[in-house]
Amino acid sequence: MAAWYEGWTDVTYPIFENMTGWPGQPKTDLETLSCIHCGDSAMVSVLHMSLHSGTHMDAPSHFLAQGVDISQAPFEVGMGPVRIANVTPRAEVTPEDLIAYEERTRPLEKGERLILRTPNSDKANWLQQPFDKEYHAIGPAAAHWISDKRLRLIGVDYLSVGPFHEGNPQTHRALLGAKVWIIEGVDLRRVKEGDYEMICLPLKISGGDASPIRILIKQQ
């Protein structure tokens, strides 16, 4: 009989110094306060980073003035069945891309979780590359389509759920305003489309508008 923890895949990007972040935000820096090899009794470090770095979850307060912070994220949001969908948009994800996914699989239902695997995941580790302003994201029209479906959670494989050049706030507000929780920066490079179980929990940061997360998935 297999142990309960076998078969899970970690789809979290590691956090490391100077990893690619959103333009204009502080660089990720790991500062050493004390070092055993330097003669100190213990190793102690301090991490400086934007809460929107790497693999993370957005809180409604990120774009909604009256939205709750990340410490109030219900733990069940990121725990349970999740569908991973392969989409290949020309630029931003459109409702037509999502309808095509439904037609080859099955319709999305209220309360489901969905993570989109786009051509972003076909690249090398993008956290080690210059920021790509042309990344594939969810356009506002698709965000409203997802909101109308009343999904519980939507995930993407780059740093933002919304496009860089135009429509980023609109995409976020459409989703968060419909109580769709957002996870960004999921590592899907070695993941195929299908049905999975997911464990995904943010840190309980009081007042935080986002949090790093650790995501594990297991194919059903």
- Domains within the chain, CATH numbers bracketed: 56-219 (3.50.30.50)
Give the position of tokens 């042309």: 134
Q: Does the active-site annotation cover 62?
A: yes
Shortest CA distance to 76 belongs to which of 198, 203, 210? Answer: 198
pLDDT score, position 1: 64
Which pLDDT belongs to residue 39?
A: 94
At what angle are helices 140-149 and 95-104 packed, to 10 degrees? 50
Exactly one of 52, 62, 136, 172 is catalytic; name it: 62
The pLDDT value recorded for residue 2 is: 72
- Give the single-character DSSP code of 75: G
Note the helical H segments in the chain: 95-104, 140-149, 168-177
What is the pLDDT, as a whole number, of residue 90?
A: 92
Q: Phi first, then psi: give them for residue 145, nearest 5 degrees.
A: -60, -45
Q: Which amino acid is at 217?
A: I
pLDDT 10s digits, 146-185 = 999 999 999 999 999 999 999 999 999 999 999 999 999 9
Please choose, from the candidates 55, 99, 92, the residue with its C-alpha nearest in 3D space to the C-alpha of residue 201. 55
Half-sphere exposure of 88 (CA within 13 A, CB side): 2
Q: What value does the CA radius of gyration of the chain take, rounded to a whole number of Å?
A: 18
Q: Enumerate residue ranges in the chain where pLDDT < 70.
A: 1
